[in-house]
Amino acid sequence: MFLSYFTEQPMSAYPADEGLKEGFTSVMFSNKYYDPVEGSRLFNERIEEYKLADQVGFDGIMVNEHHNAPFCMQARITVMSSILAAITENAKIVQLGNPLPTYDSPLMFAEEIAMIDMISKGRLISGIVRGAGQESVCLNANPAYNRERFNEAHDLLVKTMTDDGPFSWEGEHFQYRVVNPWARVLQKPHPRIWVPGVFSAETIRWAAQHRYPYISLNTPLHLTGDLWQIYDQAALAVGYEPGPENRGYLLRVHVQEDGDKARDNAREFMWMQGEFTGIGHPYWVSPSGYGSSARRLDYAKMANSKVTGSRAAPFEQQLAAREIVAGTPDEVIAELRVVLETCRPSILMLWGNDGGVNHDDSLRCIELMGTEVLPALRDIGDELGLHDPIELDTPVSLALTPPDELNPIEEAADERPEDTSDSRALKMFR
């Protein structure tokens, strides 16, 4: 199993009452409420926690990027990745992910990740995402061309990593007369690319068609079966047999010696879902043209609804459904066994600390995970045959799979709804 640590890096030190008064805390929520003194403290606490995660045996540290919102402090994923490259020794740096469509220069991004891969001595896993709609709003990247830009930036990125320069690039969205960066990725043929998402059928298929593992971001456990069915069908169609090595799962998990304290701290996960402050409007989270047209009516209704505030399920309900797992190490291990048996991922991201969980409790959570939870999960993973792509040394992509290993079959007509992503994604991020 590949076991990774994650925190959304919340900027919890802001006046929450101002957020409640506004009714939202993203995009237009004024950064006059951002206290850089607190920001400095929080960044440095997170860095100490990452160092500990590396020391206690996590296989990876997952980082991400969001904009204009206190729920995530990281405005540039490659900055934190660079820091991790220098201060950690063993853990992979798992970017989940780089919001490619929001970057106006994929070439500059390719240079950054080549530097990170070299400095980290080949520890980079460079995940890519479309970015939530509000990232398109904040960085002013046209949301209607989000997928076009994603596809084109991906193709350019892979070519830049695998082909010698100079070459030119004449795309719809990006043009370069010379692609010839004086920085090359260390890992050959290129760092692994993983694709995270909540539940977008389109993205799941895309990941499967490229043979990139799909990391399901806290998708309700009972839906993951449907999710892997979509993935597996697309994988078989392009010619390879998918398995746990193609599956990742991110789950909110908090551990303390005292189970009640753990559950108390785990309530802070609701902070991220806007229960305490509200987060954003649907027309920011999913601007017109960003989501699937199959969901247009549902989306338009939600966007024009007068209902405000969090749409997240109550804490107790999420706990019961194992969308949040919290307790003593033994309690958590028992719950995670069920998760692993149900979802069968080989990549598990443990989202350990969020909201206002303090530094000491965060460190203790990481330590207990390392000493007690991770070894148990490795045993369960072996018992269940959950072997990750690095362990199995699978090809990094379909394009780099030897053709004689592929056996494409004709895809059966898919009778499921075209896309079930948007409303779920919206619920997740409100």
Partner 1 sequence: MAMQTVTTAVAGLGMREFTGGSGDPLVMLHHSFGNPGWMPIHEALAAHYAVHALDLPGYGGTEGSERPDWARHPRDLALLVGQWLRANELGPVELVGCGFGGWVAAELATMAPELLKRLVLVGAAGLLPENGRIYDQFLVSHSDYVEAAFSSTEAFEAIYPRNGDETEEHPLGDDTLVVWDMNREMTTRVGWKPYMYNRRLRPLLGGVAVPALVVWGESDTVVPMECAHAYVEALPDARLEIVPDCGHAVDLEAPESLAAIITGGDS
Q: Interface residues with partner 1 (CB under 8 A)?
A: 27-28, 137, 140, 142-145, 281, 283-284, 287-289, 293, 296-297, 299-301, 303-307
What is the nearest approach in angstroms of partner 1 to the Cβ of residue 81? 28
Query: How far apart, in whole angstroms, are the C-alpha atoms of residue 310 and residue 287?
Result: 19
Q: Which is nearer to partner 1, 134 or 277 (CB)?
A: 134
Q: Which is nearer to partner 1, 43 or 145 (CB)?
A: 145
Q: Which is nearer to partner 1, 30 or 393 (CB)?
A: 30
Query: How far apart, in whole angstroms, are the C-alpha atoms of residue 291 and residue 130?
Result: 11
CA torsion 272→13→91→253, rounded to 10°? -40
What is the nearest approach in angstroms of partner 1 to the Cβ of residue 14? 21
Q: Which residue has the tokens 């920011």?
A: 284
What is the nearest approach in angstroms of partner 1 to the Cβ of residue 325? 33
Which residues lie below 8 Å from residue 380, measured CB to CB, with a gap of 6+? 333, 336, 337, 340, 386
Q: Which is nearer to partner 1, 121 or 301 (CB)?
A: 301
Which residues lie below 8 Å from residue 278, measured CB to CB, with a gap of 6+? 19, 20, 22, 23, 24, 25, 308, 309, 310, 430
Q: Name residue 214's beta-bridge partners.
A: 195, 247
Q: Which is nearer to partner 1, 235 or 285 (CB)?
A: 285
SS3 371: helix
Q: Of the candidates 344, 271, 351, 385, which has an alpha carbon nearest to the alpha carbon of residue 5?
A: 351
CB 256 within 8 A of CB 364: yes
What is the nearest approach in angstroms of partner 1 to the Cβ of residue 68? 12
Query: How far apart, in whole angstroms, are the C-alpha atoms of residue 1 and residue 248?
Result: 10
What is the nearest approach in angstroms of partner 1 to the Cβ of residue 69? 15
Q: Which is nearer to partner 1, 297 or 412 (CB)?
A: 297
How many whole angstroms from its chain centre is CA 294?
24
What is the nearest approach in angstroms of partner 1 to the Cβ of residue 143? 6
Q: Which is nearer to partner 1, 83 or 294 (CB)?
A: 294
What is the nearest approach in angstroms of partner 1 to the Cβ of residue 284? 8
Q: Which is nearer to partner 1, 296 or 416 (CB)?
A: 296
CB 270 within 8 A of CB 11: no
Query: How far apart, in whole angstroms, are the C-alpha atoms of residue 169 and residue 147?
Result: 18
Q: What does the chain come to in residues?
A: 430
Q: Which is nearer to partner 1, 288 or 401 (CB)?
A: 288
What is the nearest approach in angstroms of partner 1 to the Cβ of residue 129? 20
Query: How far apart, in whole angstroms, are the C-alpha atoms of residue 211 and residue 392?
Result: 14
What is the nearest approach in angstroms of partner 1 to the Cβ of residue 57? 46
What is the nearest approach in angstroms of partner 1 to the Cβ of residue 134? 11
Q: Which is nearer to partner 1, 133 or 191 (CB)?
A: 133
- Give the other-Cβ count within 10 Å of 105's Cβ: 12
Query: How far apart, in whole angstroms, are the C-alpha atoms of residue 422 and residue 430?
Result: 12
Reading the block at residue 72, the tokens are: 């995530």
- β 2-7/60-63 pair status: parallel
Q: Which is nearer to partner 1, 76 or 301 (CB)?
A: 301
Query: How far apart, in whole angstroms, are the C-alpha atoms of residue 205 and residue 147?
Result: 13
What is the nearest approach in angstroms of partner 1 to the Cβ of residue 295? 10
Q: At what angle do helices 259-266 and 359-368 cross, to 10 degrees?
A: 120
